[in-house]
Structure 1
Amino acid sequence: MLEDVALVLSLLLIGYLVYTLDRNKQAFPAPPVLVLLGILLSFIPFYSEVPVTASFIYHILLPALLFVGAYRFPVQQFFRYRRFILLLSTAGIVAAVFLSGAAFFAVSIPFMTISFTAALLIAAVLIPTDPVSVIEILSSDLDDELVTSVVEGESMINDGTSIVVFSLVFSWYVQSPPTFLEGTSQLLVTSLGGAAIGAAFGWLFSLALHYTHERSYQIMLSIIIAYASFIAAEAVHASGVLAVVTAGLFLSHRIKASSRESHLRESLDGFWEIVELSILSLLFLLIGIAAGPSLFNSYWHVIVLFFILMVVLRWLVVELIMRATPTVHKPTFSERFLVSISGVKGAVSVYLILTIQESAADQAALLAAVSFSVVFLSLLLQSLAIHPAARFIRFLGRS
């Protein structure tokens, strides 16, 4: 027990040092730095034996991160760009899984023996996006509401839908493929059920917030909203992720409409900012620790090629969806490009990789090696590319 406490405190201290000493957060955002440090820690016995489990990431870390992201996200921006957000996080995910899976299967043929279903499973693992390492850079470098809103909004929704898609592909991989009707109905029931539960919790607890002026009680209630909505949805086999996101968005909307908005946000912001930084420190360090052993593999030539293809295919999907979507907000080529390269992989992808590892499925080690390596490349290269890309686009806009 004391060792576990010492481990957590040491990881939090490392996170504190990284966030405090990193004076150039735009050129070198903290998440990839923490992942690199985590990889180094994986060679130290004290840290290499840390049991990083899918359940810990999914049930303990993820609900709080999702809640704080949704609670802070302006609801009016969600509705303003809802067509982009919803299409990218639903139809865009399905298209990206099949295109990326087919691409990986094609490039892997000369180098490894892998089934088409396994290739689809790797693609499903790598579809969720995590804007934590890029959203602050985009906000400060570009100040483009469309880009930041679509990137952040898509990530919130596709965290939930991508887990459902992964579950369908994984069941296909270990058993038999679901029919189109079964897959579609499961996706709809799980997603809509989670959203409905989240809306109910958000409405109920947002009412309760107004019954007390004590900040400590309001913070307690927000913690209950985040985890109770998640647990309730998972208990009935709905999407806990979408439940938390919907509850957070609903709460944000109710607070915005309240005459006590400044008081309520002041009560919650300080607490959740500390929680967010603490969880992000633990999360990205644990990602590095978990990924470290899998990065030493002999498939890097295929992995690099696959990573490039995934970036290109995501750009094509984003281009097609954002150009074809009828809306008054017509994104420019630069905006569409930034949305596409901001699809950095993160927490949900790692949770899905650990799920495969813990299931002892066929070729689990190979699937983990490829997936962890792509997550590593995405966190490192895409995070670092956002700053110069956004600066260059802003320069072109001024010239």
Structure 2
Amino acid sequence: MDAATGLRLLALAAGAIALAAIARRRGWPAPLVLVAAGLLVSFVPGVPVYRLDPEIVLLVFLPPLLYSAALDSSFLRLRDFKRAVGLLSVGLVLFTTLAIGLVMHLLIPQLDLAAAFALGAIVAPPDAVAAVAVARRLGLPRRMITILVGESLFNDATALTVYRVAVAAAMGQGITLLGGMLDFLIAAVGGVLIGLAVAWALGWVLERIRDPLVENTIILLIPFGAYLAAEAVHASGVISVVIVGLYIGHRMHRAGFGTRLLSDALWRVIDFFLETIVFALIGLQLHSIVSDALKVHDPWTLAGYALAIFGTAVATRFVWMVPAAALPPVLSKKVREREGPMSLSRTVAVSWAGMRGVVSLAAAFALPEDMEGRALLLFLTFAVVIGTLLVQGLTFPALIRWLKITSDREVYDDNLAEAAAQQAAATAALATLPDEATASPVHAEVIGQLRAKEERRTLNAWERLGGGTGQEGEETPGAAYRRMRREMLTAEREVFVRLRDERRIDDEVLRRVMQELDFEEAILERD
């Protein structure tokens, strides 16, 4: 890479970050602002052409973004809603692939059916980054966010596997339906097994290092290692990365406080940087993609094809979501008791949150250069990605407000559960203190301070609901305070983790209180 190319990339990163910073300050959805800005900039004279390299996207951008999302997800909640997540990440992807492939073949009969299905697989998986960002900012219920996040974690694996089968068939490699199903099964099972193996090995290593800097450096490499290890044996790298992220995230309480604090900051920075670059690159592709497509088709024909495929992509999600949400609770008592019915308003909201992203574009750019209709498939992919990001993304907040969907009750329940858990944790922490009656005067003073601090912490938790009621040769008071407080923090953590495992508090509550305890322990470390 020469200096000029490096400067162009630096200019892209700097401009995208500056724009994202402005969007964040003004409360705008940064992904959508970046896409729109990229679209406009791509037509400015003198702006260099940025070509999206599919290898870079799949090997550099995708693994860390997937791992970070999985790390921040709740394994327990995903397990609770595994049926809904599976229906979307597998069932909906296959249904969308079939629907778009058939519509495409009807529109252009001369286009090979396998190529049409390849387009379906390319645009089938929604990228929930923008939807989840808006959903969390608007305070959507946890069930909806869990379903959207779970779908985005696993649907790429389904789509990319179907995509490979369709492309192989389109290029005349003689693959059969049975062979394609076998490839899909091998990729999924292989990805799970490799992910579990990498996760177990990583957990074993991290529990023995106890060095926050070294631990997080290793964790930084893990997404790439898990992805490449799976892809090397033709398994699903996506599933492998997700499994590792969920495993480590669920067991992060076993790491040291320094590791957790550093990890949280590290992945926030990585997410912000990669997502900013990705969405800016999506918009910047417009000029080159449209130019290539216009060499083969006239503008009105392209517009007609784009509207048809965009409409199909949006409609298939509604067609699938309504019965998928309504029928299982009716047909199964077990589903009805575990999940309960999903209201029509929430079903509509999840259906409208089907925004596509960079994985679809990367798959389209990876199509063989000599494949029939490649320029058209690339244009249609771009039309669906941009259409869903801007049309659905920009209207999503208004739809949520119109449907009056909130998580106010969940916020109250979380605060109530946290306060009760804090009370139990305080009781366990105070039980670690020695009896003031038998303690030395110095230690008695320290114990009183610790008791007061614990009482203040418990009181603060209840107030979130709107109201609330050494001798010579011995260790110094400061050392005694730090030692005793660390023992109390350990006892508190154990209670919070136990209550999380017993499903009496949610993972979000656990992360929130863990962060508070970690910060306090970090302060103790500096004293």
Shared fold per TM-score greater than 0.5: yes
Provide closer, same or farther for how the CA distance between residues 262 and 78 of structure 1 changes in structure 2, counting only shifts above 3 A. farther
Residue in 1 that maps onto 2:6: 5
Gaps of 5+ in 2: 409-527
Aligned partner of 1:277: which letter? F
Q: Answer yes or no: is 1:179 the counterpart of 2:176.
A: yes
Q: Is the 8 A contact 1:22 1:30 kept in 2?
A: yes
- Map of 1:127-166 to 2, 5 A cutoff? 127-166=124-163
| Cross-structure match for 1:124 | 121
In structure 2, the CA distance between the partners of 1:396 and 1:208, relative to structure 1 (3 Å rule), is closer
Distance across 2 between alignment mates of 1:205 and 1:339 = 35
Matches within 5 A, 1:41-80: 41-43=41-43, 47-80=47-80
Which aligned runs of 4 or more in structure 1 are off by greater than 6 angstroms?
395-398
**In structure 2, distance between residues paired with 1:44 and 1:396:** 41
1:216 aligns with 2:213: yes
In the alignment, the residues of structure 2 paired with residue 273 and residue 246 of structure 1 have an alpha-carbon distance, to the nearest angstrom, of 20
The match for 1:278 is 273
1:255-310 per-residue CA deviation (whole Å, 9 max, x = no partner) reads: 14x2x475433121101111111111211122222333223542112312321222
Describe the superposition over 1:174-218 as per-residue Cα deviations: whole angstroms up to 9, x where unpaired: 215633321111101011101211111112112222223332212
Match of 1:198 in 2: 195
Partner AA of 1:340 in structure 2: S
Contact map agreement 2:140 2:405 (CA 8 A) in 1 = no
Q: CA deviation at 1:25?
A: 6.7
Q: Is the 8 A contact 1:294 1:373 kept in 2?
A: no
- RMSD over aligned CA atoms reads 2.3
Q: How does 1:1-399 map to 2 (within 5 A)?
A: 1-23=2-24, 28-43=28-43, 47-106=47-106, 108-109=107-108, 113-175=110-172, 178-256=175-253, 258=254, 260=255, 263-295=258-290, 297=294, 298=299, 299-325=302-328, 326=332, 327=335, 328-329=338-339, 330-356=341-367, 358-394=368-404
Which structure ranks higher in relative contact order (CA pairs < 8 Å, sequence separation ≥ 6)? 1
CA contact (8 A) 2:346 2:405 kept: no
Deviation at 1:24, TM superposition (A): 7.3
> In 2 relative to 1, CA 305–180 (structure 1 residues): closer, same or farther, beyond 3 Å?
closer
Q: Which moves more between the two structures, 304-313 or 381-390?
A: 304-313
Change (3 A) 1:6 1:46: farther
Tell me by how many angstroms 1:8 deviates: 2.5
Return closer, same or farther for 1:115/1:24 CA change in 2, 3 Å cut-off. Answer: farther
CA contact (8 A) 2:194 2:229 kept: yes
Letter matched to residue 396 of structure 2: I
Q: Tell whether the 8 Å contact from 1:206 to 1:251 is kept in structure 2 after alignment.
A: yes
- Pair 25,127 (structure 1): closer, same or farther in 2 beyond 3 Å: farther
The code of the aligned residue for 1:64 comes to P
Q: CA deviation at 1:395?
A: 6.2
- More deviation, 233-242/312-321: 312-321
Q: How far, CA to CA, are the matches of 2:365 and 2:327 in structure 1?
A: 36
CA distance in 2: counterparts of 1:342 and 1:195, whole angstroms: 27
Change (3 A) 1:25 1:183: farther
Deviation per CA, 1:338-382, whole angstroms, max 9, x where unpaired?
2111111002101111111x5331111111111111111111111
Q: TM-score, normalised by structure 1?
A: 0.91
CA distance 1:171–1:25, change in 2 (3 Å): farther
The 3-state SS of whatever aligns with 1:22 is helix
Residues 97 and 120 in structure 2, CA contact (< 8 A), matched pair in contact too: yes
User: What whole-Å deviation, never above 9, does each CA across 1:23-68 have from its counterpart, x for those lacking one?
Assistant: 5776x42112212222334345775343421111111111111111
Shift of residue 314 of structure 1?
Answer: 1.1
Partner residue, 2:512: none
TM-score by length of 2: 0.70
Closer/same/farther in 2, CA of residues 363 and 201 from structure 1, 3 Å limit: same
